[in-house]
């Protein structure tokens, strides 16, 4: 994919790692579950599973202070670049990247290809956990990347983009209320964004077509949402790479919205 100048999170490839592998100002973080990490990871990469960002009982994002401490425990500081890697489908990578941007980290990088490709290319692999020295990350909260329930309920001219599957959006899934989604939302299934051959995202031309079809413009105020965050974060990252600057994530959106009886949902009657 062609790079956009200065997106909040930069997409980088394996050659970038080759050029920066000895850079002392770089932290590499593997966002996969521990069992995947221990099956082989990039040498020097610390393991910070994206699942650690959430309360296990409620699936709500942990408090900001706790998230900052978790990042610091993984050796992440605001003055070092952070490279995040993942397996297909990239939800872990995107969620961790968005969370670090929320905390105000200025130099987040997403690996554009997944770990299976790294392995198939016979690149260096480590099987031992990387022990990192805990750091104290300085919080510089970036509230501009996060939408709240109040933001959505008041409208404020936002365009809502639902990253769940079409079945979920149309209420055909057993996982949620029938035939409903957030008022006025358009559907952009997250699987449409992912690439072929262990690539995080599809070709730029394909992504441009997708956002055009649902009527998104670069000046729009956009909010991505799913059930509780990871798929919305993937949509957030994809829109960033296309040059959209006014994008927020409404984390835990659909779960939170449907538990409030005073909030409405739209039916999908008549949608193709």
Choosing among 3.40.250.10, 3.60.15.10, 3.40.50.720, 3.40.50.11540, the CATH entry for 146-267 is: 3.40.250.10
pLDDT of residue 265: 45
Residues 6+ apart with CB under 8 A from 27: 46, 74, 75, 76, 77, 80, 81, 82, 83, 132
pLDDT of residue 25: 95
pLDDT of residue 267: 38
- CA atoms of 143 and 75, how far apart (whole Å): 23
- Mean pLDDT, 10 residues at a time, the chain of 272 residues: 54 97 96 98 98 94 98 96 97 98 96 98 98 95 92 83 93 64 92 96 98 96 94 97 95 68 40 24
Q: What DSSP state is assigned to residue 126? A: B
- CA atoms of 61 and 248, how far apart (whole Å): 15
pLDDT of residue 3: 38
- Which fold would CATH assign to domain 9-142? Oxidized Rhodanese; domain 1 (3.40.250)
CATH topology agreement for domains 9-142 and 146-267: yes
**pTM score, whole prediction:** 0.91
pLDDT of residue 198: 96
- Please report, for the chain, the start and end positions of each structural domain, with discontinuous segments joined by +: 9-142, 146-267
């Amino acid at each position: 994919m062609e790079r956009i100048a200065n997106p909040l999170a930069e997409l980088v490839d394996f050659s970038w790692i080759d050029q920066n592998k000895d850079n002392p100002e770089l932290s590499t973080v593997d966002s996969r579950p521990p069992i995947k990490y221990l099956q082989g990871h990039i040498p020097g990469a610390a393991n910070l599973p994206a699942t650690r960002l959430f309360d296990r009982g409620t699936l709500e994002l942990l408090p900001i202070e706790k998230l900052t401490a978790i990042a610091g425990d993984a050796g992440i500081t605001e003055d070092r670049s952070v490279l995040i890697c993942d397996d297909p489908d990239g939800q872990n990578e995107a969620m961790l990247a968005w969370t670090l941007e929320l905390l105000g980290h200025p130099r987040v990088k997403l690996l554009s290809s997944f770990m299976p490709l790294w392995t198939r290319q016979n690149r260096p692999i480590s099987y031992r956990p990387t022990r990192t020295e805990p750091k104290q990350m300085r919080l510089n909260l970036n509230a501009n990347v996060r939408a709240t329930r109040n933001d959505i309920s008041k409208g404020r001219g936002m365009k809502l983009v639902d990253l769940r599957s079409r079945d979920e959006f149309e209420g055909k899934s057993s996982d949620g209320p029938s035939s409903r989604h957030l008022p006025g939302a358009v559907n952009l299934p997250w699987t449409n964004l992912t690439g072929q051959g262990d690539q995080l995202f599809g070709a730029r031309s394909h992504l441009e077509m997708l956002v055009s079809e649902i009527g998104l413009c670069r000046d729009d105020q956009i909010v991505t949402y799913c059930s509780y965050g990871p798929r919305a974060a993937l949509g957030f990252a994809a829109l960033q790479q296309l040059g959209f600057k006014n994008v927020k994530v409404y984390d835990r959106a659909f779960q939170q919205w449907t538990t409030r009886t005073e909030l409405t949902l739209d039916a999908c009657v008549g949608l193709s």
